[in-house]
């Protein structure tokens, strides 16, 4: 679709749709929005109705016959996530091919209806033809460092839907905690899901709070989250990060590591404790992924693969034996054993593996999606090597970095000058510089990261996410342009965030 929009588009949508045509008439905003019942996409309409009732005074009423205020029309020739929203003298209509397209259209309509209270409770006539440029428009949430449960996750899903973001990446394990029930490995729930303490202040200060922290998603929790997300056009990508980031696993099952006992780590950073390379450890990773696939039906599963120290492998006789058998010259190559086994297990289950860009340092199956986080150049390198890529560049898209170079900002991963204001997010180009246009199809999209070493509450999560996530949503949708024009819309949009209780960082 041609990335153009009409002059005079003052509707304040975030992200901006590709094409907005404004009419001259108005339609009274309905107090009750009548929708035909029995439609195929009922869960998506139910989700919209629940959000609208909570955020405004408008109720959605499903009727069997008679007039309606919102017509939903299936158009099989449209693209999956496309929609056409029309407001005219006959009412409101949304045309879409799928529930995902409808979810996008309802998101735009939700913004229009919520903001219409500031416009005399009328809707201007308009036509919106819209379709995303990128298929992966993601938000990553780390629930391993600080646990966020189903209520907090569903709240984030609602906010993603409102901004037409479609992929929630859940980081489910790390050195500091394991967060998903695995029935075949019960000590993950009994031991690995709880740590005795957490750093107080910045980790370099070496002061702990002495407060136990834990939490776990049951398999039923996971299934409920999947259904909730799908109704809002969001896929959940679960991440099991192995063989590094494994100290919580080893606290529960020391035999999967060096054999030495450990506790769930109470420090931030990268532990040297990793899984060993014997068959039982490789099989453990496969069995965990089998359980993950049983409850998360989406096409992608993230297998981590980042920041895996090799110190234990370098002094392990078992690792030396495996290296000799396989002709490896570096302990770093041992990580490829996990990548191969995990990718094979996922492929057998009809899924694709996603991995952080460090896996490029060893052998990587050709169907693995590379999450390029260390630098945008690694995204280009992966695409040039024939891999599909999700861009997660830390200098633009790591929202655990502070919002501004201001000593009054809350504690964050990095100090000033490592700040990422929304303007820097908005300036991000999903396409890596220098990439041959013929390889552009390998860039699936982009993702913003919320690592939670220093984020322990919903209020702080909001503050670190917004309004940066607003800027990111427009970048990922593909309609970012002039930052001053976006700021004008953002100043309107934060009034909606106020309405729904988001604790965003105020605009400077």
Q: Are 311 and 258 in contact (CB under 8 A)?
A: no
Task: Please state, in angstroms and as integers, the Cα–Cα distance from residue 47 to each residue in 110, 326, 498, following that order.
Answer: 11, 53, 21
Q: Which of 101-105, 118-122, 128-132, 407-411 bottoms out in mean pLDDT, i.e. has the lowest? A: 118-122
Which residues, including other chains, have CB under 8 Å from residue 152's CB and lie 6 or more apart?
A: 458, 461
Partnered with residue 142 across adjacent β-strands are: 171
Catalytic residue among 152, 286, 307, 423: 307
Name the residue among 173, 310, 176, 185 with its Cα closest to residue 252.
185
Where do we find the tokens 């690995």?
Answer: 192
125 is catalytic: no
Query: Residue 33 burial by CB count (10 A; 0-12/13-18/19+): exposed, middle or buried?
Result: buried
The alpha carbon of 200 is separated from its chain's Cα centroid by a whole number of angstroms, namely 27
At 59-105, the pLDDT tens digits run 999 999 999 999 999 999 999 999 999 999 999 999 999 999 999 99
Which residues, including other chains, have CB under 8 Å from residue 341's CB and lie 6 or more apart?
A: 282, 285, 286
The model's confidence at residue 331, banded by pLDDT at 50, 70 and 90, is very high
219-230 helix and 42-55 helix, angle to the nearest 10 degrees: 90
Choose the CATH number for 136-499 among 3.40.50.1820, 3.40.630.70, 1.10.3720.10, 3.20.20.80: 3.20.20.80
Q: Are 322 and 277 in contact (CB under 8 A)?
A: yes
Q: Are 414 and 401 in contact (CB under 8 A)?
A: yes
Tokens linked to 451: 């690592």
Q: Are 274 and 200 in contact (CB under 8 A)?
A: no
- Could you give the CA distance from residue 108 to residue 84 in angstroms, rounded to a whole number? 10
Classify 146 as helix, strand or coil.
coil
Q: Are 107 and 470 in contact (CB under 8 A)?
A: no
CATH superfamily, domain at 19-130: Chitobiase/beta-hexosaminidase domain 2-like (3.30.379.10)
Residue 4 pLDDT greater than 70, yes or no: no
Catalytic residue among 69, 81, 129, 174: 174
- Could you give the CA distance from residue 40 to residue 57 in angstroms, rounded to a whole number? 26
At 142-158, the pLDDT tens digits run 999 999 999 999 999 99
| Pairing label, strands 194-195, 213-214 | antiparallel
Q: Where do the CATH 3.20.20.80 domains begin and end in the chain?
A: 136-499
At 277-326, the pLDDT tens digits run 999 999 999 999 999 999 999 999 999 999 899 999 999 999 999 999 99
Catalytic residue among 245, 396, 442, 493: 245
The model's confidence at residue 238, banded by pLDDT at 50, 70 and 90, is very high
H or E element that contains 74: strand 70-74
Q: Which of 1-5, 164-168, 501-505 bottoms out in mean pLDDT, i.e. has the lowest? A: 1-5
- The pTM for the full model equals 0.96
Residue 17 pLDDT greater than 90, yes or no: yes
Kindly state the greatest CA–CA separation across the chain: 78
Tokens linked to 164: 């037409």
Strands (E), 284-347: 300-302
- Could you give the CA distance from residue 198 to residue 213 in angstroms, rounded to a whole number? 8
Residue 6 pLDDT greater than 80, yes or no: no
Peptide bond preceding 39 in cis form (omega within 30 of 0) = no
Name the residue among 36, 49, 156, 93 with its Cα closest to residue 450.
156
286 is catalytic: no
Where do we find the tokens 């890529």?
Answer: 389
The model's confidence at residue 9, banded by pLDDT at 50, 70 and 90, is very low
Q: Are 67 and 34 in contact (CB under 8 A)?
A: yes
Dihedral sign for Cα atoms in the order 125, 129, 133, 137: positive
pLDDT value of residue 37: 92
245 is catalytic: yes
Residue 119 pLDDT greater than 60, yes or no: no
């Amino acid at each position: 679709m041609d990335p153009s929009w009409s002059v005079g588009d003052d509707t304040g949508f975030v992200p901006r749709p590709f094409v907005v045509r404004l009419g001259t008439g108005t339609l009274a905003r309905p107090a009750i929005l009548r929708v035909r019942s029995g439609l195929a996409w009922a869960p998506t309409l139910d989700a919209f109705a629940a959000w609208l009732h909570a955020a405004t005074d408008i109720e959605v009423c499903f009727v069997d016959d008679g007039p309606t205020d919102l017509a939903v029309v299936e158009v099989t020739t449209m693209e999956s996530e496309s929609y056409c929203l029309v407001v005219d003298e006959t009412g409101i209509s949304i045309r879409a091919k799928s529930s995902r397209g409808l979810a996008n259209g309802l998101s735009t309509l939700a913004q229009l209806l919520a903001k219409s209270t500031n416009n005399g409770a009328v809707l201007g006539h308009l036509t919106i033809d819209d379709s995303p440029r990128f298929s992966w428009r993601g938000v990553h949430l780390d629930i391993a460092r600080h646990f966020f449960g189903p209520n907090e996750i569903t709240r984030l899903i609602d906010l993603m839907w409102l901004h037409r973001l479609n992929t929630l990446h859940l980081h489910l394990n790390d050195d500091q905690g394991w967060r998903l029930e695995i029935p075949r490995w019960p000590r993950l729930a009994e031991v690995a899901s709880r740590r005795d303490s957490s750093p107080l202040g910045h980790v370099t200060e070496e002061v702990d709070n002495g407060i136990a922290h834990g939490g776990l998603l049951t398999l039923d929790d996971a299934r409920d989250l999947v259904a909730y997300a799908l109704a809002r056009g969001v896929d959940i990508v679960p991440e099991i990060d192995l063989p590094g980031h494994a100290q919580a696993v080893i606290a529960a099952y020391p035999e999967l590591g060096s054999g030495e006992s450990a506790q769930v780590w109470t420090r931030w950073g990268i532990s040297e404790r990793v899984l060993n390379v014997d068959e039982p450890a490789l099989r453990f990773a496969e069995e965990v992924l089998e359980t993950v696939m049983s409850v998360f039906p989406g096409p992608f599963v993230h297998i981590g693969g980042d920041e895996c120290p090799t110190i234990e492998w370098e002094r392990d006789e078992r690792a030396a034996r495996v290296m000799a058998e396989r002709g490896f010259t570096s302990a770093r190559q041992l990580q490829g054993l996990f990548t191969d086994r995990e990718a094979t297990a996922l492929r057998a289950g009809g899924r694709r593996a996603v991995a952080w860009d460090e896996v490029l340092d060893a052998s990587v199956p050709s169907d693995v999606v590379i999450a390029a986080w260390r630098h945008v150049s690694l995204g280009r390198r992966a695409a040039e090597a024939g891999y599909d890529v999700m861009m997660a560049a830390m200098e633009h898209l790591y929202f655990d970095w502070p919002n501004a170079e201001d000593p009054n900002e809350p504690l964050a991963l990095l100090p000033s000058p490592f700040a990422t204001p929304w303007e820097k997010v908005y300036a991000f180009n999903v396409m890596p510089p220098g990439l041959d246009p013929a390889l552009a199809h390998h860039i699936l999209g982009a993702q913003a990261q919320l690592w939670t070493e220093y984020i322990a509450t919903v209020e702080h999560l909001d503050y670190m996410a917004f309004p940066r996530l607003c800027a990111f949503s427009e970048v990922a949708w593909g309609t970012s342009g002039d930052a001053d024009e976006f700021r004008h819309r953002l100043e309107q949009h934060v009034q909606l965030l106020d309405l729904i209780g988001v604790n965003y960082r105020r605009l400077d």
